């Protein structure tokens, strides 16, 4: 039987997310970037049947993956910030207390599935001329736009 003070605790508990390298507690230093699936194979990897995955993606362009996200964490042992792919696993018996987290270093594929993340290669619809001139600092960038002398 639980103690009364444990039963009545309404305050949220700290997430038990630990460094896969050192095993120490990780501190979050960013917001969560949720992931989405836009191909049937991505849903099949998560236990959805092929037929259901095809029907879901036919109805929606992309399906949000509820218990998966990208997040940056600070590790006290490593003394650095790293981006991790976090998967939340909730046990069937207890919704709140039976949850655990699986943490792995974020891969390129995870970044491509993230919502709201800026593509490191830039917007593919922007031309090379625009991209090059946007990087120029000062008055040098204006010389291509001046007409006449």
3-state secondary structure 5-49: HHHCCCCCCCCCCECCCCCCEEEECCCCEEEEECCHHHHHCCCCC
Alpha carbons 70 and 111: distance in angstroms, whole number: 8
Say yes or no to pLDDT of 139 above 80: no
Classify residue 118 by burial, with Cβ atoms within 10 Å: 0-12, 13-18, 19+: exposed
Compute how many other C-beta atoms are within 10 angstroms of the C-beta atom of residue 17: 19
Region 120-143: mean pLDDT is 71
Q: What is the mean pLDDT of the chain?
A: 81
Classify residue 101 by burial, with Cβ atoms within 10 Å: 0-12, 13-18, 19+: middle
φ/ψ region of 71 (left if φ > 0, alpha if ψ in -120 to 50, else beta) reads beta
* Residue environment code for 66-93, b if the CB has 16+ CB neighbours within 10 A, otherwise e: eebbbbbbebeeeeeebbbbbbeeeeee
7-61 pLDDT per residue, tens: 666 666 778 899 888 888 999 999 999 999 888 998 999 899 999 999 998 998 8
Percent of the chain residues topping a pLDDT of 70: 75
What's the predicted TM-score (pTM) here? 0.67
Region 121-141: mean pLDDT is 73
* Cβ-based neighbours of 42, under 8 Å, separated by 6 or more: 113
Region 62-73: mean pLDDT is 90
The pLDDT-based confidence of 6 (bands split at 50, 70, 90) is low
Q: What is the pLDDT of residue 109?
A: 87
Say yes or no to pLDDT of 70 above 60: yes
């Amino acid at each position: 039987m639980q103690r009364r003070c444990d039963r009545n605790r309404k305050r949220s508990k700290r997430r038990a997310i630990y460094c896969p390298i050192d095993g120490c507690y990780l501190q979050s230093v960013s917001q969560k970037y949720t992931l989405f699936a836009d191909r049937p194979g991505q849903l099949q990897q998560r236990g959805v049947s092929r037929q259901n995955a095809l029907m879901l993606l036919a109805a929606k362009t992309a399906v949000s993956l509820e218990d998966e996200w990208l997040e940056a964490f600070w590790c006290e042992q490593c003394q650095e910030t790293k981006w991790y792919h976090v998967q939340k696993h909730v046990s069937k018996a207890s919704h709140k207390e039976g949850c655990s987290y699986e943490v792995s270093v974020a891969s390129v594929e995870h970044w491509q599935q993230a919502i709201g993340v800026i593509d490191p290669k830039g917007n593919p619809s922007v031309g090379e001329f625009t991209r090059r001139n946007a990087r120029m600092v000062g008055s040098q960038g204006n010389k291509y736009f001046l007409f006449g002398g």
